[in-house]
């Protein structure tokens, strides 16, 4: 009689507790995924962290790391995503999983503007994963990163390789045949020192060049005429002071203008390469070929 009672109790208890435990483990990852699908990225990030906190199983951990990375990416927290992947990277993961994580880390590092880090991660990728499949997106990122770092020669090689792999014509419309012509700040400084306004003209700002010539001439004119009329204090205190101030300012301004000019040239060039590479990688372009 007692045996039967105990058996019924055991059956009911085991069924109740094992079901509760199972559903708890499964619901964590599923709940996080559904939050991510519902665009609730902050909550999804916490749900994935909970899976990492409560789970030691490799498959669930990997899925949670990837999910959390996607949540951070969607929230635009690319720097945090890079650090997060670094902290979660484990050699116990299978090779394909580690590749996926590295892939995401490279994307996040590039989006975070960590160009040196992106380059370093890209260099390590073929060493860590020799048999990894070719990724057109990573190739594009390699070119963009090298461009951002002004490593034009390496960027040109990477660009031609990427275009070649995409099956596009590598001989026509190669932006690296016409690299941006950068101007020298020292030259602008030297020109402005000896020829007022010449530095601004060299930087491609004729309007500012004329203004600089006018204000410096005005100061000089006032100084000379004051001196000739025996107003020596005015010649020194106003004429020379105005001329000196505008001259020194003109020299500094010409350097700043050259810096801005170079930045514009680099940005325009990078944008041109980006457009061309992304167009060649797009499905429309592939179908056209």
Partner 1 sequence: MSPSFYYALKASFFIWLLTTAYGLRAQSANFSRELRFAQYLADKDAFDEATYVLQRIDSRILQQTERDSLAYYLGWTAYSSKSLDQAAQQLLAVSPVSAFYQKSRFFGAYCLLFQGKRDSANVVIERISPSDSTLGELKALQLAGITLLQRRLTDYQRFSQIFTYSSYAMAEEQKRLDTYYKKLSSQKHKSPFLAGLYSSLIPGLGKIYAGKKMQGIAALLPVVTLGLLTFEGYRKDGPRSLRFLGFGSLFTVFYVGNVWGSALAVKIKRDEFNREYDNKILFDLHIPMRNLFQ
Q: Which residues bind partner 1 (CB under 8 A)?
A: 1, 4-5, 8-9, 12-13, 16, 42-43, 45-46, 49-50, 53-54, 87, 230-234, 237-238, 241
- Tokens representing 72? 């951070």
Contact status, residue 62 vs residue 97, Cβ threshold 8 Å:
yes
Cα Rg of the chain (Å, integer) = 32
Residue 108 Cβ vs partner 1, minimum distance, rounded to whole Å: 17
Q: b vs e for 18-50, b when ≥16 Cβ sit within 10 Å of the residue's Cβ? A: eeeeeeeeeebbebbbebbeeebbeebbebbbe
Residue 80 Cβ vs partner 1, minimum distance, rounded to whole Å: 9
Residue 3 Cβ vs partner 1, minimum distance, rounded to whole Å: 10
Residue 234 Cβ vs partner 1, minimum distance, rounded to whole Å: 6
Give the nearer residue to partner 1 in terms of CB position, either 234 or 265: 234
CA–CA separation, 74 vs 81, rounded Å?
10
Contact status, residue 289 vs residue 168, Cβ threshold 8 Å:
yes
CB atoms within 10 A of CB 193: 15
- Give the count of alpha carbons within 13 A of 71, CB side only: 24
The angle that helices 41-54 and 58-74 make with each other, rounded to 10 degrees, is 160
Give the nearer residue to partner 1 in terms of CB position, either 235 or 257: 235
Give the nearer residue to partner 1 in terms of CB position, either 228 or 233: 233
Q: Residue 103, Cα to own-chain centre: how many angstroms? A: 15
Give the nearer residue to partner 1 in terms of CB position, either 82 or 155: 82
Residue 8 Cβ vs partner 1, minimum distance, rounded to whole Å: 4
Contact status, residue 138 vs residue 125, Cβ threshold 8 Å:
yes
For the chain, the straight-line distance linking the first and the last C-alpha, in angstroms and rounded, comes to 82
Give the nearer residue to partner 1 in terms of CB position, either 74 or 135: 74
Residue 53 Cβ vs partner 1, minimum distance, rounded to whole Å: 5
Give the nearer residue to partner 1 in terms of CB position, either 6 or 268: 6
């Amino acid at each position: 009689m007692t045996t039967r009672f105990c058996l019924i109790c055991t059956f009911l208890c085991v069924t109740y507790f094992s079901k509760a435990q199972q559903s708890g483990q499964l619901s964590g990852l599923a709940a996080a995924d559904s939050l991510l699908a519902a665009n609730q990225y902050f909550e999804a990030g916490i749900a994935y962290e909970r899976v990492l906190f409560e789970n030691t199983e490799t498959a669930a951990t990997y899925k949670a790391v990837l999910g959390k990375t996607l949540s951070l990416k969607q929230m635009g927290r690319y720097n945090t995503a890079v650090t997060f992947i670094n902290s979660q990277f484990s050699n116990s993961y299978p090779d394909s999983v580690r590749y996926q994580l590295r892939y995401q880390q490279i994307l996040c590092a590039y989006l975070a503007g960590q160009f040196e880090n992106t380059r370093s991660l890209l260099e390590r990728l073929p060493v860590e994963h020799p048999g990894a499949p070719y990724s057109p997106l990573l190739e594009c990122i390699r070119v963009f990163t090298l461009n951002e770092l002004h490593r034009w020669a390496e960027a040109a090689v990477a660009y031609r390789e990427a275009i070649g792999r995409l099956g596009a014509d590598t001989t026509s419309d190669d932006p690296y045949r016409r690299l941006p012509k950068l101007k020298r700040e020292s030259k602008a400084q030297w020109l402005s020192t000896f020829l007022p306004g010449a530095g601004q003209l060299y930087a491609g700002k004729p309007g500012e060049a004329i203004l600089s010539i006018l204000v410096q001439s005005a100061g000089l004119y006032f100084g000379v005429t004051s001196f000739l009329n025996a107003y020596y204090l005015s010649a020194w205190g106003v004429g020379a002071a105005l001329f000196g101030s505008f001259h020194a300012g003109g020299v500094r301004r010409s350097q700043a203008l050259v810096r801005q000019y170079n930045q514009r040239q680099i940005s325009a060039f990078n944008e041109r390469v980006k457009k061309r590479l992304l167009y060649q990688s797009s499905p429309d372009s592939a179908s056209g070929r």
